[in-house]
């Protein structure tokens, strides 16, 4: 397994070149870029990103020996399950843009988020509509051969590994899998149990840590890696058993006054975490 970090962990005024330089210097193997709204940051991809920017990033990949491991986005926001056709079309075009960027930058996967319940969209409707929207994209996803990872986020959708597993299985597409976020389940579960159930469906991994307030379902807060209740000594062997051998992509909040410190401690924490790769589940 290798070390990566999401570009959202980098202050927004940092250019692509400076970001690649800093992340490479901190010892990471990869970086996850994001499709964001126009003007979100100096290192965001957008729906209008063209060949000039792609060529510039490819030059940086070679210059700093830093692979683009995947393409995430901040723009999904429930649109996959919206009752509004225009929203659903935007969601499909967003996935198409992410796939386009991934293919052009040598990444093998992207991130998307199904679900998105509201006062007008129930959990059942969110499941049915997002499933149908993704199903409509299956031929394009299969043709592109880029993995589309469905992430478990705090939107009330994937609250059970069994539902996440079955949802993916029913889509029946070799290139649609789980983008499993280790830290997002710790408030109410243990990540290694999810990994055991999701198994080979896992195509991408986000890592962050969460410190519980006394136990399961009692709240808590996200913290830096190794400062919370993720049992890395069980998580890493579980990933290995599931056949995962990709990037562990850290997704952490920006430290605006000392970003280099965040990169350093995160890279060193991942070095410690990856030492468990040689161990078996106990």
**pLDDT tens-digit series, residues 15-52:** 999 999 999 999 999 999 999 999 999 999 999 999 99
- CA–CA separation, 121 and 106 (whole Å): 36
- CA–CA separation, 97 and 251 (whole Å): 21
- CA–CA separation, 35 and 46 (whole Å): 5
User: For residue 279, what pLDDT band results from cuts at 50, 70 and 90?
Assistant: confident
Distance of CA 168 to the CA centre of its chain: 16
> Which percentage of the chain shows pLDDT scores above 70?
99
Tell the CATH superfamily of the 2-278 domain. Divalent-metal-dependent TIM barrel enzymes (3.20.20.150)
pTM score: 0.97
pLDDT tens-digit profile of 67-98?
999 999 999 999 999 999 999 999 999 999 99
User: What's the chain's average pLDDT?
Assistant: 97
């Amino acid at each position: 397994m290798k070390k990566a970090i999401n570009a959202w962990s980098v202050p927004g005024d940092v250019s692509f070149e400076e970001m690649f330089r800093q992340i490479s210097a901190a010892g990471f193997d990869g970086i996850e870029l994001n499709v964001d709204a126009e003007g979100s940051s100096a290192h965001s991809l957008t729906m209008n990103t063209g060949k000039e920017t792609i060529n510039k990033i490819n030059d940086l990949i070679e210059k700093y020996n830093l692979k683009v491991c995947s393409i995430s986005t901040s723009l999904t926001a429930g649109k996959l399950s919206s009752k509004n056709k225009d929203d659903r079309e935007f969601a499909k075009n967003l996935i198409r843009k992410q796939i386009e960027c991934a293919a052009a930058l040598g990444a093998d996967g992207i991130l998307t988020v199904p679900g998105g319940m509201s006062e007008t969209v129930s959990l059942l409707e969110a499941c049915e509509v997002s499933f149908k929207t993704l199903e409509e994209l299956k031929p394009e996803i299969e043709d592109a051969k880029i993995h589309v990872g469905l992430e478990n986020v705090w939107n009330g959708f994937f609250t059970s590994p069994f539902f996440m597993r079955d949802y993916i299985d029913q889509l029946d597409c070799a290139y649609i899998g789980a983008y499993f976020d280790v830290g997002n389940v710790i408030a109410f579960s243990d990540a290694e149990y999810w990994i055991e159930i999701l198994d080979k469906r896992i195509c991408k991994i986000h890592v962050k840590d969460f410190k519980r307030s006394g136990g399961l379902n009692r709240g808590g807060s996200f913290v830096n890696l190794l400062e919370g209740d993720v049992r890395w000594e069980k998580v890493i062997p579980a990933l290995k058993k599931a056949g995962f051998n990709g990037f562990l992509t850290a997704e952490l909040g920006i430290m605006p006054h000392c970003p280099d410190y965040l990169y350093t401690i995160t890279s060193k924490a991942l070095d410690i975490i990856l030492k468990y790769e040689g161990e078996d589940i106990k």
